[in-house]
Chain A
Amino acid sequence: MSNNLRFKTSKFIDETYRVSFKFNNKTYFGFKGDTLSSALLANGIHLVGRSFKYHRPRGIMTAGSEEPNAIIQLHDNTSRTEPNVRATEVEIYEGLVASSQNCWPSVNFDIGGINNLLSPILPAGFYYKTFMWPASFWKKYEYFIRKSAGLGKSPKVADPDIYEHNYIHCDVLVIGAGISGIMAAKMAAKNGFKTLLVDEKSYLGGSSIYDNSEFSKINNQITSSWLEKEINEISKLENLEIKTRTSVAAFHGYNFLLARENLTDHLPINQRENKVRQRLLKIRAKKVITATGSIERPLIFDNNDRPGILLSSAIKKYIDLYGVACGENNVLFTNNDTAYETAMSLIQRGIKINAIIDNREQIDSKISYEVEKNNIKIYKGYTVVDTYGYRRINKISIMKLSKDGQTVIGDKTKLNCDCLGISGGWTPAVHLFTQSGGKLKFRDEDQVFIPEVYPSDQISIGSCNGNFGLKEIVNNTIFSIKKFLDIENSEYKNIEIISGSNLSKRNIWLLPSDKSIGKTKSFIDYQNDATSKDIKLALREGFRSIEHVKRYTTTGMGTDQGKLGNMHALGIISETAGTKMGEHGTTTFRPPYTPLTFGTIVGRNVGEFFDIFRRTPIHDWHVANNAKFENVGQWKRAWYYPKNNENMHQAVQRESKAARDSAGILDASTLGKIDIQGTDASEFLNRVYTNAWSKLAVGKCRYGLMLNEDGMVYDDGVTTRLGENHYIMTTTTGGAANVLGKLEDYLQTEWPELDVYLSSVTDHYATISVCGPNSKKIVSKVIPDLDLSDEKFPHMSFKNAKIDNIRCRVMRISFTGEHSYEINIQANYGKSVWEKCMEAGKDFNITPYGTETMHLLRAEKGFIIVGQDTDATMTPIDLQMDWIVSKKKFDFIGKRSLYRSDTIREDRKQLVGLLTENPDDVLEEGAQIVADVKKTPIEMLGHVTSSYYSPNLKKSIALGVVKGGKNMLGQKLIISMENKNINVTVADPVFLDKEGERLNAKL
């Protein structure tokens, strides 16, 4: 290993600050300012991973977020472990731990490498084709395939870091702080626009900030020096906020963007305590300037994936920005002038260049002449046909290209090298532009897609707009931004630019080889191991759509989303299919631009904030009294209250019996409550409920059923007339918000002439229901002033009352079939009134019961629960609730639908009671109901909707829906379970006290 790979010329590296880190369990050193990839290269390490399918050795290929190969596992075996991190983006810190992925036992010797030798039998679509048959075997194959698939390891424990979300509103958002982004931000901010400039890197200036060449000058200053002064100037502007390490992930419609701001990933672990790791920025910008630059294209030739093969611009960046040489004996392979800029950077530091291979016959630029002057051998009109070396490139062979570039001619020449820089020109980074809905056009001259139609107030500038030369970039930026922002003063006058490079290029998507294509491995998608051979196979098999080819070959489907190779895939498709480039369009670029961790996406919405829950005013009492809770919508409702190690069944049996034998108490605060006022309130209720409301006297309560316009049951509950023009409606717990929304909708859009006002008061009252034969005695102790006699306070009526001088509403209504009272009191007093009831009921064994007992008690009475015994296909007629549907009313929501040809069918599923042959057999809710198990296929008649063991009836009871069930009373049916059939008889759904004796008993 050489020690001469680090050159002391970069001001971006702090050589006084040595940083140690571990890679694959070995300790290395780098400097502050290094990325993991630059530090590894400085240590002579190229081989960092194995490819996905063939397990081929892979090295660092780029120096940015487009990296396909150098994806590593960070923080191995800790709670922070993170897979698929691009080594090119990780800034090193003291104590960093990283390791290679997708290899075993080690990256140097990987058993999976056998796949490379098997590659002739692993073509595109191999898994689809091979594991199709027999279909039932998939379950067996899957286990092994899943085991061998996947790159990194996902974390096994909760993420210890903190994340958050931030909203940002700005006049102008500039994405990308390269030279054009910096200029645009300055123009915007100086002209009074509130501007935000973001860049994914830790520094500003893009690739121009390390452009120290004599051949690229602005106003007679070296580009990097000129740009430094610009950055210095804008960092003082008040109107401008700059965020580095901030990567825009998504560009949505109406200039809404999501960006990830990285705050602590560059810090040693012990400095991250209690700090926010990443922020998801939700940016709404009036105007967006996209200056995301471009990505260098690789070249597609046989074995173009060996460690030591890098993009030529990456080699330049490593030497100019990090002071690291990628090799000691370099060869550059190019079809344009970019590689000559790299060559000059290497020459300046005296690093050996063995040769430059150029596809072009004619090269006519200042910079190429300068390179030639330095005695570098340039092979003009040549191409690389093969490379050699297993864990690191050591040789290449080259041949002359034919005139048309379709074949190779002449003899093969071999050249030694330990690093090969490749350059196939540049691809504008139009990902964000297309995400926003922008339409691209194809430019034939240099074979690039560039923005054409902007869907919102935005513009693309610089090389992401297809402006590649320095002169073009600077001049176009000034011109476009002036127009885009409609400003007089551009801040830039008489800019003079010198550039040594030309824009000429000889584009050949798939370079020819002396071998047949079947014998080559020319990688297009490095991460997913998709080769040109795979693309051609897909075309031969009849695929034409780029979206199909992509999915069949997996080209562009890795974590890098094909940032490097997608263009070549398109090029090869159009060449092979004989169509014009651009006609196939491109594949869809989807957010995020680079992967986001789940932590960033959810922000603070974790733990109890993931799905917030609502507590009743009496919640603390339930907790203190050992309640088990059940989620109902967003509410936590007391489910049952186990005593002395009771299980749920035992607790519910005890609670149910106590409620009927003496007294039970239920927290019903979660029921939706809507206050309805206005001179047309009665008329309104007439229209929304199926039954009649005009004649309900003040002080009376009535049960109502609400339908959808399609006739299906939507909600139910008791509504009380509090005054002439004042009602309070109760809804189901889960339906409260939707019912209010539906009522508002009708009032605002269909019946605006009605004088009705709605307010949700669900949270304003605590509701306590006391039931059972002793309920009257208990309530009379709690509210002694209230006359509870049947004459003064009959069933289905309401009274205003006071408890300790606090006003409350008391309704005599019942969901259990028992004599019962519902006390509604301002929420803050809920718990104390509950405790009062408990105290008053002490002598009567008052028993708190939860939702499970409530369900059991109402099922004994055959009362439905909307959403449990109904779904969106049940009419009131199906529920055998014809009694609640008014025949006289002219109209109500859903009325017309009750006699559509479908809703009057006799064989609809209808609600019935079910009694088991063996009274101890309790059915499973959801179980299928059938009549004949001998005739296959077995006809399914319906299913069980509610089922309990009733301690009061001492037998199993159930409700269910059965086709034509209404006319099946007494008929035998079968509940078909996995390993037995249970015989049942269709019964009346009211199992207990059909005559209502308990309700009306004189107490």
Chain B
Amino acid sequence: MFLINCPFCGEREQSEFKAGGEAHIVRPKQPTELSDDEWAEYLFIRKNIKGVQFERWNHVHGCRKWFNMIRDTSNDQIKAVYKMGEKPPVK
């Protein structure tokens, strides 16, 4: 079980958090302008990387804030956490 460093609360057990899928997928500003394929790309297509992945997490049983996490899915090492709207601290 991970120990997650919530950017607002500090280190907490993974059981307090909820994973929210891939990060940095921005909701299109004008969905009605998009073709079916473009909308499907936003709606359904996710990378699911083996290796370093950018993810959204929610401290659902804590401050309820969403934040971003960089995690290596092959060994579960968390490289960094950062707030929504912030630039990733590592590439």
Q: Enumerate chain A interface residues (CB-CB to B < 8 A).
A: 252-254, 256, 284, 437, 455, 709-710, 741, 744-745, 748-750, 752, 890-891, 895-897, 900-901
Residues of A within 8 Å of B32, CB to CB, are 890-891, 895-896
B79 CB, min distance to chain A CBs, angstroms: 14
CB pair B43–A748 under 8 Å, yes or no, is no
Contact A900-B40, Cβ < 8 Å, known A745-B66, A749-B66: yes
Residues of B within 8 Å of A895, CB to CB, are 31-32
Residues of A within 8 Å of B58, CB to CB, are 741, 745
The answer for the CA separation of A62 and B56 in the assembled complex, in Å, is 50
Contact A256-B1, Cβ < 8 Å, known A749-B84, A900-B39: yes
The answer for the CA separation of A455 and B74 in the assembled complex, in Å, is 11
Q: CB of B89 within 8 A of chain A?
A: no
B56 CB, min distance to chain A CBs, angstroms: 7
Q: Enumerate chain B interface residues (CB-CB to A < 8 A).
A: 1-3, 13, 18, 20, 26-27, 30-32, 34, 36, 39-40, 43, 56, 58, 60, 64-66, 75-76, 84-85
Contact A749-B64, Cβ < 8 Å, known A896-B31, A900-B40: no
Contact A253-B39, Cβ < 8 Å, known A455-B75, A896-B31, A896-B32: no
CB pair B43–A709 under 8 Å, yes or no, is yes
B54 CB, min distance to chain A CBs, angstroms: 13
The answer for the CA separation of A748 and B76 in the assembled complex, in Å, is 26
The answer for the CA separation of A415 and B66 in the assembled complex, in Å, is 74
Selected contact of B1 from candidates A254, A709, A750, A890, CB within 8 Å = A254
CB pair A252–B1 under 8 Å, yes or no, is yes
CB pair B76–A752 under 8 Å, yes or no, is no
CB pair B1–A253 under 8 Å, yes or no, is yes
The answer for the CA separation of A989 and B65 in the assembled complex, in Å, is 42
Selected contact of B39 from candidates A252, A741, A896, CB within 8 Å = A896
A-B residue pair count with CB separations less than 8 angstroms: 52
B38's closest neighbor in chain A, by CB? Answer: A896
The answer for the CA separation of A413 and B17 in the assembled complex, in Å, is 68
The answer for the CA separation of A41 and B52 in the assembled complex, in Å, is 56
A255's closest neighbor in chain B, by CB? Answer: B3
The answer for the CA separation of A256 and B40 in the assembled complex, in Å, is 40
Residues of B within 8 Å of A455, CB to CB, are 75
Q: What 20 new A-B contacts, CB under 8 Å, besides A284-B3, A709-B43, A891-B30?
A: A253-B1, A253-B2, A256-B1, A284-B13, A455-B75, A741-B58, A741-B60, A744-B64, A744-B66, A745-B58, A748-B65, A748-B66, A749-B56, A749-B84, A752-B85, A891-B31, A896-B39, A897-B39, A900-B39, A900-B40
Selected contact of B84 from candidates A284, A437, A748, A891, CB within 8 Å = A748
A708's closest neighbor in chain B, by CB? Answer: B43
Residues of B within 8 Å of A900, CB to CB, are 36, 39-40
B75 CB, min distance to chain A CBs, angstroms: 6
CB pair A752–B84 under 8 Å, yes or no, is yes
The answer for the CA separation of A253 and B76 in the assembled complex, in Å, is 8
The 9 lowest CB-CB distance pairs between A and B, nearest first, are: A896-B31, A256-B1, A254-B3, A748-B66, A750-B27, A253-B76, A896-B39, A749-B66, A252-B1
A751 CB, min distance to chain B CBs, angstroms: 9
Residues of B within 8 Å of A901, CB to CB, are 36
Can you name 13 A-B pairs with beta carbons within 8 Å?
Answer: A252-B1, A284-B3, A437-B75, A710-B43, A741-B60, A748-B84, A750-B26, A890-B32, A895-B31, A896-B31, A897-B43, A900-B36, A901-B36
Residues of B within 8 Å of A254, CB to CB, are 1-3, 76
The answer for the CA separation of A381 and B8 in the assembled complex, in Å, is 68
B48 CB, min distance to chain A CBs, angstroms: 18
The answer for the CA separation of A710 and B43 in the assembled complex, in Å, is 7
The answer for the CA separation of A896 and B42 in the assembled complex, in Å, is 11
Residues of B within 8 Å of A253, CB to CB, are 1-2, 76
B50 CB, min distance to chain A CBs, angstroms: 15
B2 CB, min distance to chain A CBs, angstroms: 5
The answer for the CA separation of A897 and B30 in the assembled complex, in Å, is 13
A255 CB, min distance to chain B CBs, angstroms: 8
The answer for the CA separation of A745 and B3 in the assembled complex, in Å, is 22
Residues of B within 8 Å of A752, CB to CB, are 84-85
Residues of A within 8 Å of B40, CB to CB, are 900
The answer for the CA separation of A437 and B73 in the assembled complex, in Å, is 13
Selected contact of B3 from candidates A256, A709, A890, A891, CB within 8 Å = A256
CB pair B60–A896 under 8 Å, yes or no, is no
The answer for the CA separation of A891 and B27 in the assembled complex, in Å, is 12
Residues of B within 8 Å of A252, CB to CB, are 1
Residues of A within 8 Å of B64, CB to CB, are 744
A747's closest neighbor in chain B, by CB? Answer: B66
B4 CB, min distance to chain A CBs, angstroms: 9
